[in-house]
Amino acid sequence: MSTYNGRMERADAARNRARILEAAARLFAERSPQDVTMDDIARAAGVGRGTLYRRYPDRAAIAVALLDEHERELQERLLRGEPPLGPGAPPAERLAAFYAAMVRLLEDHSHLVLGSEVGRTRFETGAYGFWRAHVRVLLDAAGTPGPDALVDVLLAPLAPEVYRYQRTVLGLTPAQIAGALAGLTKVLGS
């Protein structure tokens, strides 16, 4: 940290990045993400417009950065964690565990996810690709026919808009939603 060798981030840059992330997290938490403008974030962070755009081209990029560590942690557990989330359990049980973990993640960070994944951009994030690969592996392991089309069908209910609607408008509990998702594991039976 004491020496600067050309690949490290400059001190003022690091400070501003922290400010931006902190301010964005606060704003995303307190109101609907699509009502938070880039201007708002820049002002709340105490940086200029240009500084903000230098790092994050849009709201989605900021939300992705905020989500990053949570997603990484879940991805890590999926790959190398204990069963049933990690390898070792039967595909149907692993899928159910995955659903439960995703409900947890949506519950804790749905405002962030909503900020990052608006409609079709959802499919373009790296995270979606990861969830997709994971479910695809489970389908293959279960020998389910026609896995290509089924993958996205099984992931669709995890769209943040859907979760948000179920929680907020319908007043369902996370447990109820997780229960319904667990029911989807029946389709794995070949």
Residues within the interface to a second copy (CB under 8 A): 118-120, 122-123, 144, 146, 148-150, 152-153, 156-157, 159, 161-162, 164-166, 169-170, 172, 176-177, 179-181, 183-184, 186-187, 189
The verdict on 190 binding DNA (CB under 7 A) reads no
Apex CA 149: angle with CA 144 and CA 152, to 5°? 105
Residues with Cβ within 8 Å of residue 55, at least 6 apart in sequence = 17, 20, 61
Closest CA relative to residue 99, chosen from 78, 69, 116: 78
Q: Which does 72 bind (CB under 5 to 8 A by kind): a second copy, DNA, none?
A: none
* Rounded CA separation 42/32 (Å): 17
The verdict on 59 binding DNA (CB under 7 A) reads yes
Residue with smaller CB distance to a second copy, 37 or 121: 121
Among 26, 31, 54, 72, binds DNA (CB under 7 A): 54
Among 28, 33, 51, 97, binds DNA (CB under 7 A): 51
What is the b/e burial string over 127-153, where b = at least 16 CB atoms within 10 angstroms of the residue's CB? Answer: bbebbeebbbbbbeebebeebeebbee
Residue with smaller CB distance to a second copy, 87 or 179: 179
Q: Which does 123 bind (CB under 5 to 8 A by kind): DNA, a second copy, none?
A: a second copy
Q: What are phi and psi of 39, to 5 degrees?
A: -60, -50
* Rounded CA separation 113/10 (Å): 29
The residue ranges that bind DNA (CB under 7 A) are 3-6, 8-13, 15-16, 37-39, 46-51, 53-55, 57-59
